[in-house]
Structure 1
Amino acid sequence: MNKRDFIKKSGLGALGVALAPSFLQNLKHLGPQDRLRTAHIGLGVQGLADLQDTASHPAVEVVALCDVDATALANASARYPDAKTYTDYRTLLNEMKDEIDAVIVATPDHTHAPASLMAMEMDKPVYCQKPLTHFVSESREMKKMAAEKGLVTQMGIQVHSFYDYKLATLLIRDGIIGKVHTVRAWSPKEWGYNGPEPTGSDPIPEDLDWNLWLGTAPERPYKEGFYHPGAWRRIMDYGCGTLGDMGVHIFDTPYNALELDVPRTIMTECREPTGFGYPENNTVTYEFPGTDYTAESLKWVWYDGPGVPPEHEDLKLPGGEALHDQGAMFLGEKGKLYLPHFMLEPKLIVDGQYKEMDVEKYNLGTPVRNYASEGPKHYHEFVDACLGKGETSAPFDYAARLTETILLGTIAGRFPGETLHWDAKKARFKEGKANKFLKGKYRRF
């Protein structure tokens, strides 16, 4: 069963962080620490899935629910009637700060950081959906606060905990294709919008608090079909395009396996910017400094939008076999490793032919490719870490760097065809005109 089928059927429409002493002190009131009281901010399709998968852990008690959409809130409340309900996450956190132990954030991208940082300031562990933030400055701030406060954190990239992605990571680190010099990754999803900015306004739905939905983002009149629900990913003020949606999932395994940091250069090929919607097609080329698992430098090319990936020698499969519609290809000095997305086994290609691999030595057990059973693992990992039983595999220390890489690609799309040079230490571009897009001005609401 794939993720889409699972969500439809259910009606829902190795890097870690040590558990810090300061966090254990925050949980003293739990006594034996055998339960975790959770607050859930954002209860749309993904938020409701997050709620169900988190609550499937036997130690979880759902105590608070929040959404700006009254219909979404009522749907979640019907499932967890004992939880208190809120429309404004700020009210929830202020009123229930002594009654919650962890916060799960699954709002549109532009609200990830405002909600998460407020919870973290109150010393609450946070599970935040991907991409971690909407701006580079927010990613760095969330990473910094998590480290300073010693908080358990996790970004919502569930495939990080799945069999095939763990296997690919181990294979690459074991040198199965030698030093990797290039990665090519792709998704044909179309989270872009090439049309004009809408004019006028439409009546705000009765069940939506538009002011709270906008939150810190610039104020705009409501237009049906452009923002809520779902379409916000296409719009620069609220989402991060296809790169910020599927890119995070598909980047994750190569990024993790190769132990990459942030890139040195970024160049995006796309249509000229409109300042409103993301381009429908993008080709983003990154150059990364080398690691123990790469050549002296690493080239990474991302393709998204209709018709991708293009025909390329690097992407040819044995026997003329067709590529899966989403995936990644590692190219190394001894061959290629093909990782289709998702829940499909990685394949070794040497001299144009598939080769058998000895995977039993990695002790990963029998492959399980059922989203209903695999999906909750990433959430349970977070809950267990909060209770002092293990560590998370996608903490904000890791997630912030991955998200920064993604966001640098979206910024480069504002300057198509131009190579941008990134100074990671100073957190600035050499090209000064690009720096204004590293952060946003928060609206007071």
Structure 2
Amino acid sequence: MGQADLASISSHSNVDVVALCDVDSNMLAEVKLKFPNAKTYKDYRVMLKELSNEIDAVVVSTPDHTHAPASIMAMEMNKPVYCQKPLTHYVEEARAMDKMAKDKKLVTQMGIQVHSFYDYKLATLLIQDGIIGKVHTVRAWSPKNWGYNGPTPANGDPVPENLDWNLWLGTSAERPYKDGFYHPGNWRKLVDYGCATLGDMGVHIFDTPYNALQLDVPRTITTNCRKPNGFGYPEKNMVSYEFPGTKYTTDTLKWVWYDGVGADKQREDLMLPDGADLHDQGAMFIGEKGRLYLPHYKIMPKLIVDGSYKDIDITRYKLNQPLPGDNSESNKHYHEFVDACLGTGKTSAPFSYASRLTETILLGVIAGRFPNKTLHWDAKKAQFKEEQANQYLGGVYRKF
């Protein structure tokens, strides 16, 4: 994702890539070929200190556990930050980043590029225009399996020469390196580094309903999954949230998330006309006057009333229709950040929004440590009623 972020942010005509940082020297060498004038580093702390006067803005594209440490250091230096999703690994970090961005009045953006896609913007307008009335339930799903039900590795392996394992671990606890478990691609499955499928695809798929319905954080969360093992996330989860109502919902909103292979989608309110199959990933808004089906992604939302598809008149909504397959759709979100840094626009997913969405996601991840037990969240106190759950709202940073 770091390479994708780099390509998109650098596609803006006013961006000059002055520095690149990666703990993997092979990856760093690969991108250095594309940006030969950029200085290279393996430690973001050294880069930020040495180039504090040359860097105008920072993009953070690391595993989740390094999002907050790197972003907060950059923000302390008054740098605008574009940070990948989920915004943080811990709830306490999300609130801290939101506060710092507000206090310093910094331009920020979370990396949920589909937030700027036409189909998701249209779905937001349709819902807020009352196309299905007030919404009482949202169901969302993904078959991805960012979970691991196996044992914790018993022994370590030699660290590859190209990898600085200490810097990869960063603020997380010391652990022996093991081939195939961490770098480069499997960290999302593991409790110390990622946030499971919910923290990956869930952020994308939750985003449009969350934004369209103008939700805040939930009141209760219940996760149905296997018992926690302290190392890997469950491979299959069903997470149920209850939110306080908004002007676009009934008095309360029920939200159910399914992930993993074979996630339960055989429900009446998920059935499509003519027995069609649901897309692998997506969301269904269920309202007083019908349903709005929003596959993930680059597929137009579909209105379902009384078991049949109904036409949607989109001419009344002032959105520029993108060209089919136009890659600029993805670049929009990045360019929006650059323009905001230059004072010619605003971001649509600043940390003030991203922190709440991330908090919601992370509360569901925490609930997975207490299978089938309903947790009650006090947003003002930023605590669970269930005291034993509060230990997972933050973590101890290792000095590295």
Report the TM-score range of the alignment, normalised by the length of the smaller protein: over 0.9
Which structure 2 residues correspond to residues 248-263 of structure 1 after superposition, within 5 A?
248-263=203-218
2:198 aligned with 1:243: yes
Aligned residue in 2 for 1:86: 41
Q: Given that residues 188 and 309 in structure 1 are in contact (C-alpha distance below 8 angstroms), is that contact kept between their aligned partners in structure 2?
A: no
Given candidates 243, 253, 266, the residue that maps to 1:298 is 253
Q: Distance in 2 between matches of 1:371 and 1:101?
A: 29
Aligned residue in 1 for 2:164: 209
Deviation at 1:113?
Answer: 0.2
Identity rate of aligned residues, in percent? 72
2:90 aligned with 1:135: yes
Given candidates 287, 301, 326, the residue that maps to 1:332 is 287
Aligned residue in 2 for 1:181: 136
Q: Distance in 1 between matches of 2:55 and 2:196?
A: 33
Q: Given that residues 218 and 443 in structure 1 are in contact (C-alpha distance below 8 angstroms), is that contact kept between their aligned partners in structure 2?
A: yes
Which residue identity lines up with residue 15 of structure 2 in the other structure? V
2:65 aligned with 1:110: yes
Q: Distance in 2 between matches of 1:184 and 1:367?
A: 27
Which residue identity lines up with residue 111 of structure 1 in the other structure? T
Aligned residue in 2 for 1:425: 380
Q: Distance in 2 between matches of 1:314 and 1:238?
A: 35
Aligned residue in 1 for 2:3: 48
Aligned residue in 2 for 1:191: 146
Q: Given that residues 164 and 367 in structure 1 are in contact (C-alpha distance below 8 angstroms), is that contact kept between their aligned partners in structure 2?
A: no
Deviation at 1:373?
Answer: 2.3
Which residue identity lines up with residue 58 of structure 1 in the other structure? S
Q: Given that residues 163 and 368 in structure 1 are in contact (C-alpha distance below 8 angstroms), is that contact kept between their aligned partners in structure 2?
A: no
Which structure 2 residues correspond to residues 229-378 of structure 1 after superposition, within 5 A?
229-370=184-325, 372-378=327-333
Gaps of 5+ in 2: none
TM-score (norm 1): 0.89
SS in 2 for 1:400: helix
Q: Distance in 1 between matches of 2:97 and 2:323?
A: 33
Q: Given that residues 19 and 40 in structure 2 are in contact (C-alpha distance below 8 angstroms), is that contact kept between their aligned partners in structure 1?
A: yes
SS in 2 for 1:360: coil
SS in 1 for 2:17: strand
Q: Distance in 2 between matches of 1:161 and 1:338?
A: 18
Which residue identity lines up with residue 318 of structure 1 in the other structure? P
Given candidates 120, 125, 134, the residue that maps to 1:165 is 120
2:358 aligned with 1:403: yes
Gaps of 5+ in 1: 1-45
Given candidates 71, 75, 82, the residue that maps to 2:26 is 71
Deviation at 1:438?
Answer: 0.2
Q: Given that residues 411 and 434 in structure 1 are in contact (C-alpha distance below 8 angstroms), is that contact kept between their aligned partners in structure 2?
A: yes
Q: Given that residues 75 and 100 in structure 2 are in contact (C-alpha distance below 8 angstroms), is that contact kept between their aligned partners in structure 1?
A: yes
SS in 1 for 2:110: strand
Q: Distance in 2 between matches of 1:51 and 1:170?
A: 30
2:53 aligned with 1:95: no
2:334 aligned with 1:379: yes
Q: Distance in 2 between matches of 1:143 and 1:365?
A: 31
Residues 209-237 of structure 1 deviation map (CA, whole Å, 9 limit, x = unaligned)? 00000000011000000000110000000
Q: Distance in 2 between matches of 1:195 and 1:129?
A: 28
Q: Distance in 2 between matches of 1:345 and 1:252?
A: 16
Give the 4+ runs in structure 1 shifted more than 4 A. none
Residues 70-101 of structure 1 deviation map (CA, whole Å, 9 limit, x = unaligned)? 00111111110101100000000011111100
Q: Given that residues 138 and 256 in structure 2 are in contact (C-alpha distance below 8 angstroms), is that contact kept between their aligned partners in structure 1?
A: yes
Deviation at 1:365?
Answer: 2.8
TM-score (norm 2): 0.99
Q: Given that residues 177 and 331 in structure 1 are in contact (C-alpha distance below 8 angstroms), is that contact kept between their aligned partners in structure 2?
A: yes
Deviation at 1:64?
Answer: 0.5
Change (3 A) 1:309 1:343: farther
Which residue identity lines up with residue 204 of structure 1 in the other structure? V
Q: Distance in 2 between matches of 1:310 and 1:48?
A: 34
- Aligned-residue CA RMSD (Å): 0.7
2:357 aligned with 1:390: no
Change (3 A) 1:259 1:272: same
Which residue identity lines up with residue 224 of structure 2 in the other structure? E
Deviation at 1:367?
Answer: 4.1
Which residue identity lines up with residue 287 of structure 2 in the other structure? G
Q: Given that residues 282 and 303 in structure 1 are in contact (C-alpha distance below 8 angstroms), is that contact kept between their aligned partners in structure 2?
A: yes
Deviation at 1:327?
Answer: 0.2
Q: Distance in 2 between matches of 1:193 and 1:166?
A: 34
2:370 aligned with 1:415: yes
Q: Distance in 2 between matches of 1:220 and 1:207?
A: 18
Residues 148-188 of structure 1 deviation map (CA, whole Å, 9 limit, x = unaligned)? 00000000000000000000000000000000000000000
Q: Distance in 2 between matches of 1:341 and 1:177?
A: 20
Q: Distance in 1 between matches of 2:31 and 2:327?
A: 19
Deviation at 1:375?
Answer: 1.2
Q: Distance in 1 between matches of 2:236 and 2:323?
A: 34
SS in 2 for 1:216: coil
Change (3 A) 1:414 1:345: same
Q: Distance in 2 between matches of 1:132 and 1:371?
A: 27
Which residue identity lines up with residue 125 of structure 2 in the other structure? L
Which residue identity lines up with residue 172 of structure 2 in the other structure? A
Q: Distance in 2 between matches of 1:346 and 1:340?
A: 7
Q: Distance in 2 between matches of 1:392 and 1:349?
A: 32
Aligned length: 400
